[in-house]
Structure 1
């Protein structure tokens, strides 16, 4: 009998852990939302992923927009880094003493 006690104790500890962490409530609310859908989605797992990932759930359009924003910002960053390098090079050229402008000594 004591052999079966240990797994039950571990299982109960794990259940309490999930409840404390809010996992049980989150899963329950997502499953209730799925149950209450008038037309069930063709991919229930995708529905759960979308609604479980963040509060309010990001839609596929939101995710695509955020991914596009990341691409745009990376391109902008690359352009700015290139411009920065060009400006540094120009500044360095302007700061070097110009030998032709130095007065000639006779």
Structure 2
């Protein structure tokens, strides 16, 4: 058994939840906040059998997409407020996944 921790952008979370359920995967959804842009994220806890890890990752990959977003540099670096005022384009979204071993799984 494996535990997939998938951190996705809020914009993709509902669609991912729907696709996971349709794919037969159970997931717990937790609200979270990114450290870089301080934007809303969602962390999914997905318990899967080892042979189904690739299938779950495939659902995540097909559902969570990167996109570009403009942010002001002062948002990223407050100390640069006086020298940089034009928005900067950054990549956001997609998914960051961690696959962890599970020693024991119990459902009540």
Same fold (TM over 0.5): no
Q: Structure 2 length normalisation: TM-score?
A: 0.18
Query: Higher strand proportion, which one?
Result: 2
Where relative contact order (Cα < 8 A, 6+ residues apart) is larger, the structure is: 2
